[in-house]
Amino acid sequence: MSLAGARLSFGDRTLWENLDLDVAPGEFVAVLGPNGSGKTSLLKVLLGQLGLTSGTAHIAGTAARAGNSDVGYIPQQKSIDEGLPLRGVELVGLGVDGHRWGLGIRGLARRRRIVADVIEQVGASAFANAPLGSLSGGEQQRLRVAQALAGDPSVLLCDEPLLSLDLANQRLVSKLIDRRRRTHNTAVLFVTHEINPILPLVDRVLYLVDGQFRIGRPREVMTSKVLSDLYKTEVDVLEVRGRLVVVGTGDAMDALGTAGGHHVHEEWR
């Protein structure tokens, strides 16, 4: 996926500008930043749901547009109504690109095979026939990953896919996404508030703060100097047993919000 000279403004407020970002096939890029910095809007541009104010956005060589089967999308986790009768297999089926396989008998059989395959890939076969509302957050999220993979995308856009998952499920879901990009050369853009659960997987970080941004390898961007420049206040990045801990005081703490990453998790194994 490729953004060139990209600017997104709402009225006189510019979320970001002069943004050049090329994510190569198989590359894993994390997007970080405080609330309101424009992370979800960036995904919406690539999904063709929002137009850039200026610049260009391309996916696999064509301009970003809605309904592009090259794009898989894992939306922010929303709690599913317990009474919803939709089952996992049906949710995943919605991700299969109907046009590609047609709806004849062979098309339907092929479609069923694709759905069963991706459900198997994410380890969801045991619960894919249960109503979604009866499943745990981790189980639902595995099925959402399967739905995003069902269309065999070359690009995967993930909006905080680890939110409200426990540590074991955070690892499981991150590993599924990491495995996908390694086995299928899928480019991954992963919006998150917490770098640590994915730190070992990430190739580059795009860090957005109040119209400013930095792009680079995690340890180039996640430094006291770079984050202090971005937040325009003193921020310290400490490395504790392989984890990055972002610490600010006073106003800096407010500005960091949940992007502070100052929760303590068990180490990645």
Ligand X SMILES: Nc1ncnc2c1ncn2[C@@H]1O[C@H](COP(=O)(O)OP(=O)(O)OP(=O)(O)O)[C@@H](O)[C@H]1O
Which residue from 171, 194, 65 is spatially nearest to 123, judged by alpha carbons?
171
- Residue nearer to ligand X on the CB measure, 35 or 62: 35
Nearest C-alpha neighbor of 88 from the set 52, 126, 51: 126
Checking phi first, is residue 116 left (phi over 0); if not, alpha (psi -120 to 50) or beta?
A: alpha
C-beta of 127 vs 213, nearer to ligand X = 213
- In angstroms, rounded to a whole number, what is the distance separating the alpha carbons of residues 237 and 246? 5
Tell the smallest beta-carbon distance from residue 204 to ligand X (Å).
18
CB of 134 to ligand X, least distance (A): 28
Q: Is 222 left (phi over 0), alpha (psi -120 to 50) or beta?
A: beta
Give whichever of 114 and 157 is closer to ligand X, judged by the CB atom: 157
Q: Amino acid identity of 102?
A: G
Shortest distance, position 38 Cβ to ligand X, whole Å: 4
Of 151 and 261, which has the nearer Cβ to ligand X?
261
Give residues in contact with ligand X (CB under 6 A): 10, 15, 33, 35-41
CA 142 vs. chain centroid, Å, equals 14
For the CB of residue 261, give the shortest distance to ligand X in the complex, in Å: 13
